[in-house]
Structure 1
Amino acid sequence: MKKLILAAVALVITFSVAQAQTSTSGVKVKVNVELNPFQSIEIGSGVVPGAAPAGYDDAVTLRYKTAADYKHGVDTLVQRQLKVSSVGSGYRVKAALSSGGKFIKELGNGQADYDASQLLEIAVGGKASQTAAANLDFGPFGQTSDAGSSVLDQELDVKYIGKPLNEDTVKKLLGNGGKDSKAVYTVDVVYTIAAN
């Protein structure tokens, strides 16, 4: 009887395995990859964390300290200040200056505001510098406006150039302050990214 039961079990197992092997219905899954164009701009790795005042991502100070500074101007290069991604096209970096493109007096006895175009130039990503205005457009970056010019996390240097200042300008900005009175003027620069 044991042999008969073992033979029956062996037959059931053989039949089940045979049936499993002949039954080849499978499942098919379609996998899609979707690529969406996008653009982003943020602070790059060249910025010192915590160095900017509250509410800002970075701060740059152009200091005039010597006669040569006033006669020839001053500049500061911030390496890798901006980080951009543009998938699907080349891009342009744009900048908007606060207060309609005017520096506002923060400290000192000079006039209340001063046209940024008289004091500042900005160069982004090795492009030629532009005189500061309410709105600036640095670009194009990339040769085409299609996906062939896509970049991911490309870091750009930004150069801030304080123009030479003549005696008239110095008098307006320092006002009637004495030899120990300094003047500080400030403007916000907000960078954005746009497609070519």
Structure 2
Amino acid sequence: MKNLFLVITALILTVGVSHAQTTPNQAKVKVNIELNPFQTIEIGSGAGTNGAITTGYGDELTLEYKSADDYKKGVEKNVLKQLKVTSVGSGYKILATLSDNAQFNKVNGSGDAKVDASQLLKIAVGNKSSMDAAASMDLGSFGTTSGAESSVFDQELDVKYTGKAITDVNLLKKVLNDKTQAKYSIDVVYTIAAN
């Protein structure tokens, strides 16, 4: 029994000594990594290829009607890589808001002071279908799911602007009722949201 007591005491001292020797020689640090979902949208590398840009805007373009075909068929410009998006943690959708409750404002000419944008403009982003202009627009979802597997970094998207056919005489009177050029303008503000 005395031998058993000595063996147990020796074991306790050995474990205690070895534990005491390692504790002062180590430092334990816990490292955490937090991965937060986020989304950004900005003007892409295709901006500015259409000419001068008014101060305060990321890009600017003009749709010009110059011929009978332009009025009969409409006009369009496809701005390559106009938008650049990053969406971490989910797929995303592109939204657009048009200024003045989706009313084009006359800049010069003798037409009406305001014209409903849905009569004149369609917009499409990426490979999505064109939509008639409206005050608030959901221009489509990108990414097959709302999960992280649909994340993208710096994805550049083309935007197609279509000036609709203008053959309705009443609409022509609204926008162009004199022999002078008429110019109308509207702001399109793009935002990104989770899919």
> What code does the residue aligned with 2:187 have?
D
Q: Which moved more, 1:91-100 or 1:44-53?
A: 44-53
Match of 2:32 in 1: 32
CA shift, 1:31, in A, is 2.4
Match of 1:183 in 2: 182
Q: Which segments of 5 or more consecutive residues in structure 2 lack a partner in the other structure?
A: 1-20
Match of 2:10 in 1: none
Q: Distance in 2 between matches of 1:139 and 1:129?
A: 10
Cα shift readout 1:13-54 (whole Å, capped 9, x = no counterpart):
xxxxxxxxx878122332222211001100001112883101
CA shift, 1:172, in A, is 1.8
Match of 2:174 among 172, 175, 189: 172
Q: Which segments of 5 or more consecutive residues in structure 1 lack a partner in the other structure?
A: 1-21
Matches for 1:108-123 after TM superposition, within 5 Å = 108-123=109-124
Q: Secondary structure at the match of 1:153?
A: strand
Q: 2:104 touches 2:185 (CA, 8 Å); kept in 1?
A: yes
Q: CA RMSD in A?
A: 1.6
Matches for 1:1-196 after TM superposition, within 5 Å = 25-48=25-48, 51-168=52-169, 169-175=171-177, 177-178=178-179, 181-196=180-195
CA shift, 1:146, in A, is 1.2
User: What count of residue pairs does the alignment treat as equivalent?
Assistant: 172
Q: Distance in 1 between matches of 2:26 and 2:53?
A: 60
Q: Secondary structure at the match of 1:99?
A: helix
Q: 2:48 touches 2:60 (CA, 8 Å); kept in 1?
A: no
Cα shift readout 1:55-79 (whole Å, capped 9, x = no counterpart):
1111111000011100100000000
> What code does the residue aligned with 2:132 have?
T
> What code does the residue aligned with 1:35 have?
L
CA shift, 1:157, in A, is 0.3
Percent sequence identity is: 58
Q: Distance in 2 between matches of 1:27 and 1:81?
A: 52
> What code does the residue aligned with 1:38 have?
F
Q: 2:63 touches 2:76 (CA, 8 Å); kept in 1?
A: yes
TM-score, normalization by structure 1? 0.83
